[in-house]
Amino acid sequence: MTALQDRLAGTFHLVSLETRRSDGVVSHPFGEQVVGSFMFDRAGNFAVQLMGERAMAMFGTYVVDESQRTFTLTPLGANDPALIGAEVLRHVDPGDSDVAVFSTPVQVTDGMKSTTFITWRKVADA
């Protein structure tokens, strides 16, 4: 099996982004017409942009936890200042050879659990 660090190195284009709640409701926090790009280099740097009904952009460093199948982003710059210096955890389902699903940790709001699933297609290796 290829190491997650090696699977991530490269450029990904967004396939879909949706939030699923424990009651079965699915929403699209950036709208249904969202585009995005996520780039990881082998030295531990990343840049990500999402654009739809709203926009999100950040860049910084990342660290992979192979045993947990996760990565943690530490933004050095972001259009949301609250993200700068924060640790942003993503779980990874590596899928087939060119598709990966990144998901957020489960969040609970008003007793309702939700997780956001972000599906990416790899378009270039680093």
For position 34, which CATH number holds? 2.40.128.20
- The C-alpha atoms of residue 10 and residue 19 are separated, in whole angstroms, by 25
What's the whole-number mean pLDDT along residues 61-66?
97
What is the total count of domains within the chain? 1
Domain boundaries, position 88? 4-125
Whether the pLDDT of residue 1 is over 70: the answer is no
* Radius of gyration of the chain, Cα coordinates, nearest whole angstrom: 14
pLDDT digits (tens, 9 = 90+) for 97-124: 789 999 999 999 889 999 999 999 999 9
- Token digits of residue 13: 């284009």
- The C-alpha atoms of residue 126 and residue 124 are separated, in whole angstroms, by 7
Rounded to the nearest angstrom, the gap between the alpha carbon of residue 64 and the centroid of all alpha carbons in its chain is 13
Those residues whose C-beta lies under 8 Å from the C-beta of residue 70, and which sit 6 or more positions away, are: 64, 89, 90, 91, 92
- The C-alpha atoms of residue 52 and residue 34 are separated, in whole angstroms, by 4
Whether the pLDDT of residue 13 is over 70: the answer is yes
